[in-house]
A and B are shown apart, each in its own frame.
Chain A
Amino acid sequence: MSVTSTDLITVRGVRKRFGAREVLRDIDLNILAGSITVILGTNGAGKTTLLRILGLLEPADEGTVAYDGVVPGASTVAYGTSTRSPSQDGHFLPLRRQMLLAFQHPAIFSSSVLSNVTYGLQLRGVSRAEAEERSMAALRETGISDRARQHASSLSGGEAARLSVARALALQPRLLFLDEPSASLDPYGTKLLEDLLMHMRDDLGMTAVVVTQDIFEARRVADQVAFLHQGRIIEQAPRDDFFTNPRDEQTRRFAAGELLV
């Protein structure tokens, strides 16, 4: 893996354990600016934990994550035994406000659909009127603007997933992290999501990291694919190389849909 000037995130030697269980072992990963990176892996491979570390929701035990060019100047989070969680450190707030993580099970505030979207904008000091205007536009793009005034708990699973995407469209962070984004979507919703994802990359210059176990989704949206297996990155490559010419035997078998032992 070579470090180029266009790497927006550079992960080196990241480890994470929960009690005795080693979830991530020595992760190295590069996220190219303006690209969609799909992290593929089976259940329990450590995908969600890795995504939460990249999204600064959870600290790693060891290693460094460097965010380059997300906010003015370089921001590197170096993890060690005494590191506070980045979410507790005000120094990283501007960086955190340039990223957004959409959870696998879409979380909602028990309030109106609209204020679920405006919340993030108002945190950034956007006036209420402008926040509502931008949020309504985002809800229209995701096809749930007719639910704006309703209580968010009345949304179906698929609509809640659309709400997550609407938040991203309204906030337009530099970095978007999606955890199994199509898990609760029907094929139509999945198509809409993937179109919006590519729109955000192409027209808004966003960089996205998508975690999924769906190799077909990876084929459709990925620029880069990384294969995470048992807490290790087995292989990272441009999409076509990854699927047509995998270097690693386990990658080849996973990409071919074979069972891994």
Chain B
Amino acid sequence: MGDIGRGFVQAVRLIVSLDPGTYEALGTSLRVTMSALFWSALAGFPLGILLAFSHFRGKQGVMNVVYTLMGFPPVVAGLLVYLLLSRSGPLGPLGLLYTPTAMVIAQITLALPVIVGLSVLGLRGADKGVFDLALTLGATRAQASIALLREARLAILGAVITAFGNAISEVGAAMLVGGNIQGATRTLTTALVLETRQGSFDRAIALGIILLLVSFLVNVVLSRLGEGTSEVGNVRHIN
């Protein structure tokens, strides 16, 4: 049996034996990525709406920057956050380097441009007539925006899934600003790098399989949420 086969067996063993190290890394991965995703969505969707429907000088320039940042190499993002948070850096006194918070910040720099960029594309692609339709049916502009967001829900789901995938699978930034400290900042990806370096290929492959499995499960849940019902939008009664 080769390394890959042994990896499968090992993966099953780590999962069913509730291996503490593995579950700790998994927990850190999920906590860090979900926080980064939450803050990125909170800031990213309003920014996306703003950019999709406003007109101002230099908008194309802003969009070009956003699209470029969508392909931001994680290790470069990690380096920038590292320099910001390191002891001599501008945010050094906060003492955030090598904490999960630092990793969340690094992942936000990766996830935010993806959320903004993909939601702009999705909202532009959604039928613009829907906004006017909601307005003439008596919606406020806020209510019309919600209706429009629901029209673009598949694109928005795509943005969340892509941002999640980017964030949970990156290793460069997590390594640089997290430091791969066992029980604190070790994630599935940084653990995987460590195991590979130490020649424990079966454990490394097992971690890879667990990472894929988690991604799959999260995507199933996100898709369920995104499909939604046949309602037009959450109508709030403002009279």
Chain A contact residues, CB within 8 Å of chain B: 55, 57, 87-88, 90, 93, 96-97, 99-101, 103, 105, 107-112, 115-116, 118-120, 122-125, 151, 167, 171
Contact = CB atoms under 8 A, between A and B. Distances in A.
A109 B135 contact: no
A124 B147 CA distance: 15
A155 B121 CA distance: 26
Contact of A57 (B135, B232, B233, B239): B135
B19 interface: no
B139 A123 contact: yes
A97 to B, nearest CB: 4
A105 B232 contact: no
A111 B230 contact: yes
A107 B137 CA distance: 11
A21 to B, nearest CB: 17
A111 B133 CA distance: 14
Nearest to B154: A110
B239 A124 contact: yes
Nearest to B136: A101
24 contacts: A57-B132, A87-B135, A88-B141, A93-B140, A96-B136, A96-B138, A100-B136, A101-B132, A107-B129, A107-B133, A109-B134, A109-B147, A109-B232, A109-B233, A110-B151, A111-B150, A111-B232, A115-B230, A116-B232, A119-B147, A119-B233, A123-B235, A125-B237, A151-B230
Closest 5 CB pairs of A and B: A120-B137, A107-B129, A107-B133, A97-B138, A122-B235
Contacts of A93: 138, 140
A90 B129 contact: no
A112 B230 contact: yes
Nearest to A96: B138
Given A103-B132, A123-B138, 16 more contacts: A57-B135, A97-B138, A99-B136, A100-B136, A103-B133, A107-B127, A108-B133, A111-B230, A115-B230, A119-B134, A123-B137, A124-B239, A125-B239, A151-B230, A171-B137, A171-B138
Contacts of A103: 129, 132-133
Chain B contact-residue range equals 20 to 34
Contact of A109 (B133, B141, B239): B133
Nearest to B140: A93
Given A103-B129, A105-B129, A55 B232 contact: no
B35 interface: no
Nearest to A116: B232
A161 to B, nearest CB: 14
Contacts of A87: 135, 141
A97 B135 CA distance: 9
Contacts of A105: 129
Nearest to B144: A87
B130 A107 contact: yes
Contact of B235 (A57, A110, A119, A151): A119
A237 to B, nearest CB: 28
Contacts of A100: 136-137
Nearest to B148: A109
A122 B140 CA distance: 13
A90 B142 CA distance: 11
A200 B32 CA distance: 59
B223 interface: no
Interface string B190-231: 000000000000000000000000000000000000000011
B136 A57 contact: yes
Q: Choose among B127, B235, B239 the residue with the greatest number of A CB atoms under 10 Å from its CB.
A: B235
B132 A123 contact: no
Nearest to B127: A107
A209 B127 CA distance: 25
A99 B181 CA distance: 63
B143 interface: yes
A179 B147 CA distance: 22
